Amino acid sequence: MSGRDKNSPSTFDVHAEALADVFTLADKSDQYKAVQKYGGPEGLAGLLRTSLEDGLSKKETSAPEARIRAFGNNHLPDPPSKSFFELLWEGAQDVTIIILSIAAVVSLSLGLAFPPEGEAGTAWIEGAAILVAVLLVLNVGAVNNYAKEKQFKELDKQKQTKPVEVVRGGEPMEISSDDLLVGDICLLKQGERVPADGIFIDGCGTPECRLDMSAMTGESVAVLVNVKNPAMTSGAIMESGLARMLVLAVGEDSQYGVLFKNLQDEADPTPLEEKLDTLAEWIGYGGMGAAIVIFLVLLFFFLLEHYTGTQTISRCLDIPVENEITTVCWNHEEDNEWSTDAFGDITQFFIIAITIVVVAVPEGLPLAVTISLAYSMKQMMNDQCLVRRLAACETMGGSTTICSDKTGTLTENRMSVTKGWMFGREFSSLPLSTTPNKQLADILFTNIALNSTANVSPPKEIGGLPEFTGPKTECALLMFGPHVLPGGNYQALRKEYKNKIVKMYPFTSDRKRMSCAAKVDDDASHPYRLYTKGASELILERSAYMVDKDGEIKDIKSKDRERLNALLEDLADQGLRTIGLAYRDFSDKSEFANKDDDDDDEPDPPEYELTLQAIVGIMDPVRKEVPHAVAQCQAAGIVVRMVTGDNLKTAVKIAKDCGIFTDGIALNGPDFRKMSDADIDRILPRLQVLARSIPTDKKKLVKRLKENREVVAVTGDGTNDAPALKAAHVGLAMGRSGTDVAKQASDIVILDDNFASIVMAVLWGRSVYDNIKKFLQFQLTVNCSAVAIAFISALSDRGTPLTATQLLWVNLIMDTMAALALATEKPTPDLLDRKPYGLDEKVPISAIMWRSILGQAAYQIAVLMVFIFLGADWLDLEDKGRVHYTMVFNTFVWMQIFNEFNARKVNGEWNVFHNIHTNWMFGAVMVITVVCQVLLIEFGGEAFKTTRLDLVEWAICVGLGFVALPLNLLLHFIPISIFTSLFGMCFGHKTEYIGIPDVETGHGSDSEDGEGDALNSAWASPDPSRRKKKKVKGKARASSDSD
């Protein structure tokens, strides 16, 4: 349904404008007073027909039309975009198009006003045809740009849409942000973006949260939000804490929506576009120079012809010289006749020269990049990759290393508790063989329920799996809860403790634990209890006591600690994530002091001298497609590293199952942090697993890899991962588990959190690069031959065998049509059979491409020159006549048509027809081109200076064009080294794998600078093989540039 209807009467007792005005007030006290004017959150909930506890009822959400008419939906307005006619006008600003149009108008005017003798009815046609061709080129370009903008607009809408957790009908659920309604109760966690304007209800048991408002206000200081300062503005980021928010303004009425109306991002050129812009300039300058020379040569022959007595019209005069009469004759034409014909001829020369520039300037290059990127972005959505930054498409194809998270990316993120230790007893299966003590079970179940932001909903279908929302580790514990306390209801327990919670300490990647302080008993000497859960070794380290199998609390002795540590190692060896749960009682809540407004540091929670309750092992199976995907990356020359917060042994086990950990090094984060940059660089070639890492470890790893000339892609899902995502060449955020901050910092969002989708991003990135190379090879071949033919013909006084309208048709074939045909080729698995292209590759033209470009261009030039100079005699045609030059034009076009098939393969492949059936666009373009060419020859007439050909003449033209296919096979036998040495240095082309330099890694205590201490605590495979990769500077990579 559409948005708010301002003219429709509202059935609510409060108006959208009044609610939106709350957020325009600058003073906190004024915002509070504005909310209180409506009776606070409770009063507003009544006016909006919602409940602060249960949210909107099913009746309200099943028929939301009246609510949307009154308050609108959460769709943001589209930013202003250019219309078709604006894009058409923009294309008409091109200097060469303007000059060509002016020259065409002059030609048209002369043809109408002063037609040459015998051409009174047709002299105007060529000028008109040029104008029509220019309009056609402009319209095709505008249509492509319009389609591109429309496609990008659709992708932008998908970028804006994200899942939001709400309470509706008393049930927590995930909905799309587009479906958010005024009156919804929204649940927000640390790192999430506020999806609409609303007011703070509570902090899910805590009295406050903090918002990062920098995106809206530019202020970097976090804003404290509580009942006294309740406004939560859309676009802000939850910096800390939890929040339940009552939504008051959505879409265009929200503060972010108001700002968004006037926003329009101007896309920066991608790195590949910048490289191609430079190449286009070189080609353009070459074409400009050739055009100037051609114009001057044609003008020279024209003037020579008029002033050397070759004209048929002459004048004679008898002059008496020394009593004799001498007759002197000279060429002469009447002033008007001579001037108009001469001016008309010179105008035609000028048009030819400008057309050569139009043909030479590869304006199709940016179009090909745009089409390829836009097509790839749309297709990548189907492969679960949402591209947020255009350059990431191409950069991903050049990635040499991927630093991947474990949970959800390499594993299924469908966790379940399978083994562990609880109240002094180990268990190896569920259900438990013994029933725990009721009092102890109550404490543990309360720990599980309160120390969680997750929810588990019943299956939507009979026999289906439960629906999980929130962190999957917490979901696994919630599913484990009924085994601890049969009949326990975590939702009822949360409601019971809602007003008893004193302080929440949310989980962070740095702390690797979370805690909840609550009042448990008014009469007890220690009425406050801190429930803590987190990384098992950290919880065990901070525990001084444990509950034994008799239900007694006792000190943890050294042998108990050894036994529990051995259990942790055993669970980790099985690839299980281990979580510890503990608690501590307090007599005074002052231990849980809140942060002052002026204090940037949160007081440390009293998570020490804990009583250990349980250690559980959580299974998270490896995704079945991941080992193959990792193997594909490794075959493609991409090093895959696992960076995880898990225990080292757990990480190694999962890494082995994935195929990541082979003969390398696995290192703990704390040890990694102690190492110098030089030490890290020494072990980088063999570092495959970084465990117990924090986000700063990931950023440091990315930085060192970049310093070593790697193209780095890194995954992240947490708020603290943002710096590493920003630092990498390509940041990959997780779509399901990732926070909004991580997604905003990323370049690509992996919608299904699956590593196999990352491999697809690599595949599409390489496809984009290859498609541009295909187009480039085709266009440069046409450029070389067209300019050379025009140049040689002009120098040899053969005139211009290719007219302006014919050249414009060729320009249309090789620019727009070829861009559509070649830039939409789909990726094939063999793209992963070669190494990545490096950072130093300046222009994507390989030696193989040069071989094809020069070989095909040489063939075209040689054949057409023979045809131009000798073809008329051989075929008994009028020299430079209409049939003669029609055949030249037809042969030239058919050479391009068949060579376009050759351009489908740019890496030395023999079969240019492989997978041709997968690209319907290529087939459609070929059919259209052939049909149009036949029509131009048979019916082009004066407009295209063509005439009909008989079957023999058609066979000759098509046959000479067809030779391009077998010629492509013959070119494979020319050694590629010739072209490598000729063009490698000219264009700075490097296709070799820019990898990690070969090193010898030190081991043991005798290594220098403390490296031995770090490596002694690392996990390294015995007797590792040394796989050396050498950097070959200035040479093309053999595997890429050989047949």
Residues with a catalytic annotation lie at 405
The β-bridge relationship of strands 687-691 and 639-643 is: parallel
**551 CB contacts (<8 Å, ≥6 apart)?**
423, 437, 439, 440
Name the 3-class secondary structure at 513: strand
Q: What angle do CA 330, 334, 336 make, to 5 degrees?
A: 145
Angstrom CA distances, 418 to 278, 426, 579, 620, stand at: 60, 11, 12, 10
**Using CA atoms, how far apart are residues 989 and 513, in angstroms rounded to an integer?**
50
d(CA 1016, CA 1004): 6
CB within 8 Å of 197: residues ≥ 6 apart: 19, 20, 22, 23, 231, 232, 233, 234, 247, 248, 249, 250, 253, 254, 255, 256
DSSP single-letter state for residue 222? P
Sign of torsion over alpha carbons 114, 304, 806, 948 = positive
> How many Cβ atoms are within 10 Å of 956's Cβ, its own excluded?
18
Q: What is the DSSP string of 959-990?
A: HHHHTHHHHHHHHTTS-HHHHHHHHTTTTT--
Residue 878 to residues 106, 230, 345, 795, 799: CA-CA distances in angstroms? 30, 90, 22, 21, 15
CA torsion sign, 160 to 162 to 167 to 171? positive
Nearest by Cα to 399 from 824, 835, 698? 835
Burial (CB count <10 Å: 0-12, 13-18, 19+), residue 361: buried
- Where helices occur in 514-606 by DSSP H, the ranges are 536-541, 558-573
Q: For residues 635 and 621, give the distance between their C-alpha atoms in angstroms, rounded to a whole number.
A: 24
Token pair recorded at residue 598: 């002026």
Q: Classify residue 174 by burial, with Cβ atoms within 10 Å: 0-12, 13-18, 19+.
A: middle
Residue 331 gets which letter from DSSP?
E
**Residue 289 CB partners (closer than 8 Å, separation 6+):** none
Residue 852's contacts (CB-CB under 8 Å, 6 or more residues apart) are 777, 781, 902, 903, 906, 968, 971
Q: Which of 652, 655, 660, 665 is nearest to 632 (CA)?
A: 660
Q: Which two tokens stand for residue 485?
A: 């306390």
Distances (CA, A) of 728 to 636, 696, 704, 705, 723: 20, 13, 11, 9, 9
- Cis amide linkage into residue 431, ω under 30° from 0: yes
Beta-strand relationship, 223-225 and 197-202: unpaired
- The whole-angstrom separation of Cα 625 and Cα 643 is 19
Best CA proximity match to 537, nearest among 567, 565, 509: 565
> Contact 264/68 with Cβ under 8 angstroms?
no
User: Are 879 and 873 contacting, i.e. CB atoms less than 8 angstroms apart?
Assistant: yes
Beta partners for residue 171, in sequence order: 168
The string over 643-682, giving b where at least 16 C-beta atoms fall within 10 Å of a residue's C-beta and e elsewhere, is bbbbbbbbbbbbbbbbbbbeebbbbbbebbeebeeebbbb
> Is the C-alpha dihedral spanning 327, 330, 335, 341 positive or negative?
positive
Closest CA to 454 of 187, 169, 742, 743: 187
Paired tokens of 268:
């920066």
